[in-house]
Amino acid sequence: MDAALHDGSRIPVEIRGDGPTVLLPVNPVPVEGAQAEEMRRWGADPALGRTLIEGLSDRFRVVAFGYEDHVQRHPKPLTLTPAHIAADFLAIADAAGAERFAYYGYSWLALSGLQLAIRTDRLSALVMGGFPPIGGPYREMLAVTRATRKMANDGLSEGEKRANDPEPEHPVPNAAAAAPMDSAPAASSNWEDYDWSNVDIPMNAAQTEQFVTLYEHLQHFDDRAAQSRIRCPRLAFAGSADRIDYGARWGDVQVDIAGPLLRHREELEALGWKVRLSDGLDHTSAMQAKNVLPLIGPWLDRHLLRE
């Protein structure tokens, strides 16, 4: 099936399993070919979405949709706002016939889940991976995405800028603008030696602009004040080594995901969050199914399958 999004585009939706509904903004179709090899080189699983779906659909009704892949194929440079993303997720839930549903997202899709949670009372559970519920690096991510936009623009001719290539042949999973931390090297890489100044930015202006739009709209978001508007059970997790220092091309910005979870852990738990830090894992390794499923599966079981 598919669902209509805020800009009129339609996104494919795959439904697997029976039981309480879980919305997963993951691509159910494994990446293949050269792109898959490149993902493996970065320590990412080309079949991550499929693996997550299979790991949960034995007891949940999983509604899967490749939202990141979709916005790369159909960029929304002026409209990828928190409110529109939440409306898109609700439209997908409506199309799937889910009045109540849990949500799991990672990185910018985790912060999108937080935006969803403060806009609806339909959530039965919220899982945020790779982005902290309090103390999120919204300012840092705006700087990073603006720098990425500039690099994308600098790499285009005037004619290419006008054409803007709205539907690239090979959209980039975990795109650098969504952020560069999502395209980061695997945990086995030496972060101090990694040369971020030579990272290629394989995206066009519209793809990068939409993430600038997202983070611009989040600059005045008070994530601490927003906590009182979340009513459902909630879990936040990240790798304990989820921290990236970007070089001069990105304005020497540090994006720290693990730090806020550590600093605000007691506060978060007092607010009802379950907080988990996976020892030694970075942003890429903490999102892999072998690390995610043993963490979120039992937690969802307790909160969604209880009598």
Q: What's the CATH code of the domain at 90?
A: 3.40.50.1820
pLDDT band at 164 (very low <50, low <70, confident <90, very high): very low
| pLDDT tens readout for residues 287-302 | 999 999 999 999 999 9
Q: Distance between CA atoms of 37 and 65, rounded to whole angstroms?
A: 23
Q: Distance between CA atoms of 30 and 50, rounded to whole angstroms?
A: 7
By the 10 Å C-beta count (0-12 exposed, 13-18 middle, 19+ buried), 191 is classed as middle
Average pLDDT over residues 244-256: 90
Parent domain of 196: 2-304
| pLDDT tens readout for residues 277-287 | 999 999 999 99
Contact 117, 232 (CB under 8 A): yes
Does residue 173 surpass a pLDDT of 50? no
Q: pTM of the predicted model, to two decimals?
A: 0.88
> Residues with Cβ < 8 Å from 161, sequence gap 6 or more?
153, 205
Which tokens go with 244?
């990236």
Does residue 2 surpass a pLDDT of 90? yes
Per the structure, how many domains does the chain have? 1
| pLDDT tens readout for residues 201-249 | 557 889 999 999 999 999 999 999 999 999 999 999 999 999 999 888 8
Check residue 199 and give its pLDDT.
52
Lowest mean pLDDT among 48-57, 188-197, 259-268: 188-197
* Nearest to 301, CA basis, from 122, 102, 93: 102
Does residue 151 surpass a pLDDT of 80? yes
Lowest mean pLDDT among 13-27, 60-74, 184-198, 263-277: 184-198
